Chains A and B, each alone.
Chain A
Amino acid sequence: MAMAQTAPQRLHVIAAGPTASLQANRHRTGRALLVDALMALAVVGLSLALRGWAADIAGDNAFLEFLRAQWLLLLAGNGVALDPLSLPVPPLVFLAAAALGGPQVAEVWLPIALNVAILLVLTRVLLRGYPAAAKLLAAVPLLATPFFYLLLFRLDLQLFVLLLGLQVATLRAFRLQPTVARVTWAIGLNIALSLTSYAAPAALGAAVGYLLLIANYKREVQVAAWRALLWLYAPFSLAGYLVWMVAWATAGSRLKTSYFLTAAPEPFGRLTTSVTQTLGLPLLLLVGLAVILVLFLRSPDTRMRGGRSQAAAWVVLSFAATGLGWLVIQTLVETLPSEPDALTFAFVLLIPAAIGSVYGQTRNILNTNRGTTRLLLVGGLAIVMVAFSMQYLLRPIVWGDGLPSAERRAAAAREAARAFRLADPGGRVLVDPRFAATFVLEGGINPNRLLTPFDQDFSALVAAPPDDVRTIVVTDAEDDFVGGNYPRLRLLDVVPDATLLAEGRARPALVRAFRREPPAALLPDLERAIVAPYAAAEERLLAEVARRLGPDLMPTRMDGWAYGIDIGNILLYAAERGDAGLFTAVDRIVRDRLLVTEMSDGNALYTVAWRAHADRQVDASGTTESLRVVDAYVTAAERWAAPEFDRLARVIGRAYVAHEQPQQDGHRWFIRNYYNYGTKQYATNTYIVDYDPDVLARLAQRTGDPEIERAAVASAELVQQAQHASGLFYLMYQPEIQTIHPGLEFFAPNALAKTYDAAEVALGTVSSDRAIAERVLEFARTRGDVLEAEYSLTDLHGHGGDRSPALFAGITRLAVALGDLDFARQTADEHLASELEDLISAPASDSWFFNAITTLLSLRELQAAMAG
């Protein structure tokens, strides 16, 4: 067979004469090189020109961030730290390029060089021996597809495409001459491919399927030899995975989670979407190819010299079928990590290869005399060409629309880095570089300054940073797993010792750099107490509170939950009283039980839960509770001149502000009542007790935070709007209610207003809008001893209800705040001191702690006011 094929070729050479043939060959080679060089130049030019466009879509992605982090780790002498699902080839290629030419080379020029390599694989390897027209026909769609330029930002996908092209070439070489040496090269490429992407099994499956197909056709091959070679090819191609798996199993990783671990299994819908949208037209292309190839199989006249008939096109078909099958399996078992992107992007190279291959074949077959065959071939080719062209017109995804945009975290990191450059305090930087590589690079931070999770005992470093640590970088985003990486990282434990230096936000991501200062000791006079007339009552009640709280200081209610409002009140009381011991203990409870530091949910981060349970997860944030805790920390900062509490209050205040619903669609600005940690949804309404303009204003004034200041102003405006003419308040605001009752903004269920709520809200407006507070106090003062717990907003008749100690404690506090000490003392005397024993002896109830601690607050504030 081989002789029969080569004989005409030899005759041709002899007829042309050796010199003429040599010259013709040289001419052809020179022309081919020139064409390749021109196309390579085109790749470089287009890649540079379109890089900016591609960066908007795919730049700064998680994988690039991962590579940058590896580079930083290397520079810092920490070595490479791959995570379990990352494969070593792309990072090692990146690091090698960075080591040789710097990160700019690795990020810019290496991808461009690889794109040139992809083109050359297409024209010089896959279509080797094909006419120049076929190569051009293949190169044009390659250069025209935007996917080609998106590859510039995904080194792993780019290497996958490149190696896949070489792997396909080895199949052809293998097919032409199945020797051990060739199969060894093919295995080597497969191992490289498998250490590049988890999509390699699809490519390997396709290759094996293709080789089996060829072997079973029994054409021009020794079946026994083929099958024996496949025993080498298939298992040893997977050796890379085996080695990698064993290496991880035995050596392990310094990381517990992965960049590449998806939060949830690939939904089946994504597969169907891929097939119908992303892969729809490529599949149509493949149908066209299949038509052509079947015709080739049926036609005995169409085999080309050298046995290269239809090889590339068959490989593409085989790859497409196996790839789709692989994705289906992956979707069904919900565990395999192959990225559909790798398979999709592979078509960037494979389809042009198939087009070139088919064209190279059809040119010959079109010269046959069979009319039907010729017609079908033209039709098939038309489908291929038209489908390929149409996808650019019909499918926005091809132009980048609908592709996942670049990581926002990197944008946030850049913003923070710009600010950090101006305020870099020097010293070492405690940072998680997996997620802040861009920050470090853009911030011009020497990697040797870094303390990272890859340092020994990082948890201990976080808990007690060395004195030379001056900056702490915290990042988060919804899709990060850093919290899972180091559960309860407790970075917040050190945040109170830090000042916010720089911040970048690009929702849902944020990057914050804190300047850490030497821990300030609590003032020595913490035990200072103000002696006041109501001290005895306070001490008596405080002893009972302490008894009921027990050693864990948790104000647990009947349902087993400890409520944030109670804990916040105790914290505030401890701050006002100046009881450092109590404050420190409750502060620990707030941080451990209420403050959300889990970084996996950006919305939940630093919010205060509305309640906590010993055995259950917190379920939602509490805005009133947040305000109370902020009030406590600001008070503590003032009392002990400890700015770290201001900073913690600011962090929580920011999280409170994050509950805001901006003014839009005719609805006013408001703070949504809670954020549900489980459903990750905000409430759609707000309660009047969710506002404390004075606390926010104090915080804004102390920290200079414009966001908080803006919220303070908006809060005051809302509270003012929510006040009824009587001085009481509507209880809530819910935009949806306006669809039922147009014009109704604030309302109270059953038109009943709560007097205590009015006192509490008024207490928060004393500074920002004193008139509001005055109206409430006036309402109480005019009713004196007969003050009711609830009033109808329609006729202002009292509706009784529980005239709890908290009610009078609230009025007392308001009176103190407004300077009406007489009324305050009168209220305290008549309703608090006299009923103290009843309160102390009252059985446990849901409201006991609330009543008791509010009473303590009122007694404390009254004493403080009296003491001047």
Chain B
Amino acid sequence: MYPHGTRGINYARLERLADRGMLSLPAGESAHTTFWGWQLPVLLGGLLAVIASLFAWPIGTLIAANATATFLYLGILVFRFYTIHRAEHVGATLIATASGEVGALEDSALPVYTILCPLYREAGTVAQFIQGMRDLDYPFDKLDIRLLLETDDLETQNAACAAKASLGNPESIQIVLVPDAQPRTKPKACNYGLLGARGEYTVIYDAEDVPEPDQLKKALVAFKRLPSSVVCVQAKLNYFNSDQNLLTRFFTAEYSMWFDLFLPGLFAVGAPIPLGGTSNHFKTAALRQLGAWDPFNVAEDADLGMRIVRNGLDTAVIDSTTWEEANSRLGNWIRQRSRWVKGYMQTWLVAMRHPLRLLRTLGLWRFLCFQATVGGTPFVLLMNPVYWLLTLLYTLTAWGYVPLLFPTPVFVASLLAALVGNLMFIYLSMYGLLQRQRYDLVPLMFLSPLYWIFQSIAAWKALYQLITKPHYWEKTVHNLGHHTAPSLTQDASLAAQLPEAA
């Protein structure tokens, strides 16, 4: 029934879990229910109150709404700049592992490391992924590579079997078929893969990922050096196909800012870190205790990051990069981005089911950081078009109602957000690229507002889907540019982009 290599699995338990979509979390911690208990009545009640107020005091209500939105917006901007500013000063706290420390690790003492790789209709990338794993600076026999395949994806199953066979069917590679049950999401596959994981540590890679060879060892060193409360380290992500087109260039700039500046900044200020989609290294036992991934959350990585914090544990960022394939087509990109933003919304709603408990657990500062990061990201993207349209409307028509919405303090805050905020974001995009030594992309950042428009379109789509199809997984198509993921050890141009290489 099952292909070769799917041994050691408790099928009875699997059947039970499969019925629940591989959900091993309590219902209160899953996005299976989008709005929890009181949330929907309160949201609807609030909405109705605002509508009623609009009828009773239209201008006053609009001013109040605008003021609230503006100051929230400004607060989120200030938080972003502050964290990035802190990132500049925390080079030492970023877990930069010295090459000597990594080299000092003896192979014989290394633990088994589980690598989860969910694949769906990616037959063409299996062999290259396995090759990438073989290129890792880690004893191959101490790897527990688990290729997570869907039962209806025979093509990928065959490719995986062939690749494994070509290597003499090593124990290090396990082909895991994920039961066909809803939801068909990446976290569900990961949860399934985790059930039989042998490794003391676990990491997730996508099929097209090219991690730096010593990334596993760096993660180990980080785990050893950091307090035991740190159960996850996040590697930086960036793109190997950034020069494919304008979109991939902007995407590269965004990732450079996010992973090289913002996440280290969050780490520096002690804020909860929303994990990136791949290259999250976990202590396996802790991951299991945490309930692993929520299969109903389409940004399961961010959700897990928050759950880590809610359980009093921590995440760190390591100075190692995994190279991914940037989404190169606009439609595909918007699908992917809308999924991410929807996932952030789900994560926020899940965490805010018990706000007071969350506040007690996190403390005020981390609570605010969580709001600014997980709540703030979709909020800013949703609000941007509103203010762009207001500005455009007033510029074109000089409609007298627009200034009415901006009493002096609100106006000053809006002006700051618009002027300083936009300039700073362009500046930070450039900054991230300079850190990455992608000098050629720096001038392009003056066109960033174009990219922001698409981000906002995706955000509004995400909001729509949150209401209509909350668990729908917008699958991203990979290998659009027909790029083949390069091997770091073979591709000199890619190697040259690495900070260490420079």
Contact = CB atoms under 8 A, between A and B. Distances in A.
A81 B431 CA distance: 36
Interface stretch (A66-74, A223-231, A561-569): A223-231
Nearest to A223: B439
Contact of A180 (B423, B431, B440): B431
Given A181-B88, A247-B415, A232 B423 contact: no
Interface in A213-236: 224-225, 227-229, 231-232, 235-236
B427 interface: yes
Contact of B437 (A181, A225, A236, A239): A225
Contacts of B182: none
A243 interface: yes
Interface in B440-468: 440, 442-443, 446
A225 B442 CA distance: 10
B443 A231 contact: yes
A250 interface: yes
A246 interface: yes
Interface string A221-263: 0001101110110011001001100110011000000000000
Contacts of B420: 243
Interface in B305-351: none
A227 B439 CA distance: 8
Contact of A232 (B88, B411, B419, B434): B434
A184 B81 CA distance: 13
Interface in B399-455: 411, 415, 419-420, 423, 427, 430-431, 433-435, 437, 439-440, 442-443, 446
A225 to B, nearest CB: 6
Interface string A172-188: 00000000110010000
Given A180-B431, A181-B88, A236-B427, A228 B439 contact: yes
A184 B443 CA distance: 16
Q: Could you say which of A184, A231, A242, A247 has the most chain B C-beta atoms within 10 Å of its C-beta?
A: A231
Contacts of A225: 434, 437, 439
Q: Could you say which of A236, A242, A250, A251 has the most chain B C-beta atoms within 10 Å of its C-beta?
A: A250
Chain A interface, DSSP helix/strand/loop, else mixed: helix
A487 B411 CA distance: 30
Contacts of A228: 430, 433-434, 439-440, 442-443
A521 B88 CA distance: 75
B89 to A, nearest CB: 9
Nearest to A187: B427
Nearest to B438: A228
B442 A231 contact: yes
Contacts of A181: 88
A251 B88 CA distance: 34
A802 B88 CA distance: 96
B204 to A, nearest CB: 31
B71 to A, nearest CB: 18
A189 to B, nearest CB: 15
B74 to A, nearest CB: 15
A223 to B, nearest CB: 9
B419 A246 contact: yes
Nearest to B427: A236
Contacts of A242: 419, 423
A860 B434 CA distance: 93
Nearest to B445: A231
Contacts of A243: 419-420
Interface residues of A, number: 19
B: interface residue count bin: 10 to 19
A251 B415 CA distance: 10
A232 B415 contact: no
A227 B440 CA distance: 9
Given A180-B434, A228-B434, A247-B415, A236 B439 contact: no
Q: Could you say which of A180, A184, A246 has the most chain B C-beta atoms within 10 Å of its C-beta?
A: A180
B439 A246 contact: no
A746 B419 CA distance: 72
A235 B411 CA distance: 25
A242 B88 CA distance: 26
Contact of B440 (A224, A229, A246, A247): A224
Interface string B473-490: 000000000000000000
B437 A235 contact: no
Contacts of A247: 415
A235 B446 CA distance: 10
B446 A232 contact: no
A251 B443 CA distance: 31
Given A243-B420, A247-B415, A232 B439 contact: no
Given A181-B88, A228-B442, A239-B423, A246 B415 contact: yes
B415 A250 contact: yes
B437 A232 contact: no
A174 to B, nearest CB: 13
Contacts of B411: 250-251
Contacts of B419: 242-243, 246
B415 A231 contact: no
A798 to B, nearest CB: 74
Interface in B199-255: none
B430 A231 contact: yes
Nearest to B435: A180
A225 B439 CA distance: 6
Contacts of B442: 228, 231-232
Contacts of B434: 180, 225, 228-229, 232
A250 B413 CA distance: 13
B387 to A, nearest CB: 14
Nearest to A225: B439
Contacts of B431: 180, 184, 232
A359 to B, nearest CB: 36
A606 to B, nearest CB: 40
Contacts of A229: 434
Contacts of A224: 439-440
Contacts of B427: 232, 236
A608 to B, nearest CB: 45
A231 B448 CA distance: 14
B430 to A, nearest CB: 5
Nearest to B442: A228
A247 B423 CA distance: 15
Interface in A334-385: none
B140 to A, nearest CB: 38
Contact of B430 (A232, A250, A251): A232
Given A180-B431, A180-B435, A250-B415, A236 B440 contact: no
Contacts of B437: 225
B91 to A, nearest CB: 10
A180 to B, nearest CB: 5
A246 B440 CA distance: 30
Contacts of A232: 427, 430-431, 434, 442
B439 to A, nearest CB: 4
A231 B430 CA distance: 9
A246 B416 CA distance: 11
B449 to A, nearest CB: 14
Nearest to B89: A181
B428 to A, nearest CB: 10
A251 B409 CA distance: 12
Contacts of A231: 430, 442-443
Given A225-B434, A227-B439, A250-B411, 10 more contacts: A181-B88, A184-B431, A228-B442, A229-B434, A231-B442, A231-B443, A232-B427, A236-B427, A243-B420, A251-B415
A-B pairs with lowest CB-CB distance, top 7? A228-B439, A228-B442, A224-B439, A231-B442, A231-B443, A180-B434, A180-B431
22 contacts: A180-B431, A180-B435, A184-B431, A224-B439, A225-B434, A225-B437, A227-B439, A228-B433, A228-B434, A228-B439, A228-B440, A228-B442, A228-B443, A232-B442, A236-B423, A242-B423, A246-B415, A246-B419, A247-B415, A250-B411, A251-B411, A251-B415
Interface of A: 180-181, 184, 224-225, 227-229, 231-232, 235-236, 239, 242-243, 246-247, 250-251
